[in-house]
Amino acid sequence: MAKPGILGRSSSMPRSNEGMRLIFSAVIGVMLGYLFGISFPTVNITKLHFPSSIVSYIEDRNSGITTQTLLNHAWTSANSHKKNNSDSKSDEIPKIYVTSNPKGAERLPPGIVVSETDLYPRRLWGEPSEDLTIQPRYLVTFTVGYAQKANIDAAVKKFSENFTIMLFHYDGRTTEWDEFEWSKRAIHVSVSKQTKWWYAKRFLHPDVVARYDYIFIWDEDLGVQHFNAEAYIELVKKHGLEISQPGLEPDRGLTWQMTKRRGDREVHKVTEERPGWCTDPHLPPCAAFVEIMATVFSRDAWRCVWHMIQNDLIHGWGLDFALRKCVEPAHEKIGVVDAQWIVHQGVPSLGNQGKSENGKAPWEGVRGRCRKEWGIFQSRLADAEKKYYLDQGITLPNSTSS
CATH of domain 138-347: 3.90.550.10
User: pLDDT tens digit string along 166-199?
Assistant: 999 999 999 999 999 999 999 999 999 999 999 9
Contacts of 164 (CB under 8 A, 6+ apart): 119, 120, 136, 138, 139, 140, 187, 212
* Cβ contact 290:319 at 8 Å: no
Q: Taking the CA atoms of 207, 209, 213 and 218 in sequence, report the sign of the dihedral they define.
A: negative
pLDDT band for position 3 (cuts 50, 70, 90): very low
38 has a pLDDT exceeding 60: no
How far are the Cα atoms of 184, 267, 268 from residue 264, in angstroms, in the given order?
40, 9, 10
Q: Which amino acid makes up residue 245? A: Q
128 has a pLDDT exceeding 60: yes
| % of the chain surpassing 70 pLDDT | 75
Give residue 250's pLDDT: 75
User: pLDDT tens digit string along 282-313?
Assistant: 999 999 999 999 999 999 999 999 999 999 99
14 has a pLDDT exceeding 70: no
Q: For residues 60-74, b (16+ Cβ closer than 10 Å) or e, as one string? A: eeeeeebbbeebbee
* Cβ contact 156:176 at 8 Å: no
Give residue 41's pLDDT: 47
**Three-class SS string for 90-128?**
HHCCCCCCCCCCCCCCCCCCHHHCCCCCCCCCCCCCCCH
Give residue 47's pLDDT: 41
Instruction: Tell me how far apart the alpha carbons of residues 27 and 339 are, in angstroms, rounded to a whole number.
Output: 97
pTM exceeding the 0.75 threshold for the entire prediction? yes
Instruction: Tell me how far apart the alpha carbons of residues 94 and 109 are, in angstroms, rounded to a whole number.
Output: 12
Give residue 42's pLDDT: 47
Contacts of 119 (CB under 8 A, 6+ apart): 139, 164, 166, 187, 208, 209, 211
Give residue 84's pLDDT: 54
pLDDT: which is higher, 30 or 39? 30
Count Cβ atoms within 10 A of the Cβ of residue 202 and give its class: 0-12 exposed, 13-18 middle, 19 or more buried: middle
If DSSP codes are grouped into helix, strand and coil, which group holds residue 316? coil
Instruction: Tell me how far apart the alpha carbons of residues 143 and 200 are, in angstroms, rounded to a whole number.
Output: 10
How far are the Cα atoms of 82, 101, 169, 368 from residue 217, in angstroms, in the given order?
54, 30, 14, 23
User: pLDDT tens digit string along 391-400?
Assistant: 999 988 764 4
Residues in the chain, total: 402
